[in-house]
Amino acid sequence: MAPPPSPITIGILEAGAVAEQLAARHGSFADACRRFLGRGDEQPAFRVYRSYLGELPASVSACDGWLITGSRYSAFDDDPWIADLAAFARAAAEARPVVGICFGHQLVAQAFGGAVERSSRGWGIGVHSYQVGRRRDWMTPALDEIALLASHQDQVTRLPDGAELLAGSDFCPYGLFQLGDNIVALQGHPEMTKAFAADLYAMRRDQFGRAIVDNALDSLAQPTHEDEMAAWLLRFLAAPDRSR
């Protein structure tokens, strides 16, 4: 009998630190991603690299796939680590699947020739829904709409050449895209819990605006699709037909 397949190893490229008062209760961005992707029957292994502190893998082959987290930074900031992370993403995508979430979504888009800007629509927080326009094989179970937590004021305003738009909304037209065989990026936060979101929104009430926060807190009663998104992204990250 053949041995069971080894679990894939996902490298989490952490793009920022969680505010201290939130981290004490909810943990780091990497902790959130581990919980999110470890919720199903498949249990990947994880390695964490604090990219915002200059930690990057020695090789793009160090893990089977890569995930770039959210961040309080903007992809267009001129911090050297952001340029270094973008360069790593470009190199990694030559042979490994790369997933970008929120900041990671924006960084990947910009790294491959797209554009990211501060949105004239303002802050997007609370539960946001994205309509699925195209489907790929890894998007199983099939959904017509994806509801996810959001927290961003920057947006992708132009996709890289050759990117395929998979889902979007009026507020965020470029909500989910795929570029080639090895890049998937999404603006929403499937790794974020509603408890974290409630604490984050309340903490930043003055920054976000009181009415916006009240509406966002009310939206947390809506169902969301974290389980389905975990299945989608694990299937994408574990796809066997890439050069290893």
Task: Give the confidence band of 9 by pLDDT, cuts at 50, 70, 90.
Answer: very high
Candidate from 2-11, 175-184, 218-227 with smallest mean pLDDT: 2-11
Active-site residue, 94 included:
no
Within 10 Å of residue 2's Cβ, how many Cβ atoms? 4
Confidence check: pLDDT of 241 > 60: no
Angle CA(112)–CA(141)–CA(135) in degrees, nearest 5?
Answer: 40
Nearest 5 degrees, angle CA 43-CA 56-CA 166?
60
Active-site annotation holds for 55: no
Least confident range of 6-10, 135-139, 205-209: 6-10
Residue among 180, 167, 57, 169 at smallest CA distance from 111: 180
Indicate the pLDDT class of residue 2, thresholds 50, 70 and 90. Answer: very low
Query: Looking at the domain 9-119+154-192+226-237, which fold is it?
Result: Rossmann fold (3.40.50)
Each residue of 61-98: pLDDT tens digit?
A: 999 999 999 999 999 999 999 999 999 999 999 999 99
To the query of whether residue 102 is one of the catalytic residues in this protein, the response is: yes
Q: Could you tell me where the beta strands, DSSP code E, fall in 65-203?
A: 65-68, 98-101, 115-118, 124-132, 145-152, 154-158, 163-168, 176-179, 183-186
Judged against a pLDDT cut of 80, whether residue 185 lies above it is answered with yes
Least confident piece of the model among 37-41, 47-51, 75-79: 37-41
User: Which is catalytic among the residues 191, 225, 226, 228?
Assistant: 191
146 neighbors 167 (Cβ within 8 angstroms)? yes
Residue 6: pLDDT band with limits 50, 70, 90: low
SS3 assignment, position 207 = helix
Q: Which of 26, 105, 128, 189 is catalytic?
A: 189
Quote the distance between the C-alpha of residue 199 and its chain's center: 20
Asked if pLDDT for residue 160 goes beyond 60, the answer is yes
For the whole model, what pTM was predicted?
Answer: 0.94
* Separation CA 108–CA 92 (nearest Å): 11
Mean pLDDT taken over the chain:
94
Listed by start position, the domains of the chain span 9-119+154-192+226-237
Model confidence pLDDT, tens digit, residues 96-136:
999 999 999 999 999 999 999 999 999 999 999 999 999 99
Cα 26 versus chain centre, distance: 17
At residue 148, φ and ψ (nearest 5 deg) are -140, 160
DSSP 8-class letter at 56: -
Residue among 191, 186, 188 at smallest CA distance from 166? 186
User: How is residue 190 written in tokens?
Assistant: 């499937």
Which of 1-5, 42-46, 79-83 has the highest mean predicted lDDT (pLDDT)? 79-83
Handedness of CA 167, 170, 175, 178 (dihedral sign): positive
Annotated catalytic residue: which of 33, 63, 102, 172? 102
DSSP string, 132-163: E----TT--S--SEEEEEEEESEEEEEPPTTE
Beta strands in the chain (DSSP E): 9-14, 45-50, 65-68, 98-101, 115-118, 124-132, 145-152, 154-158, 163-168, 176-179, 183-186
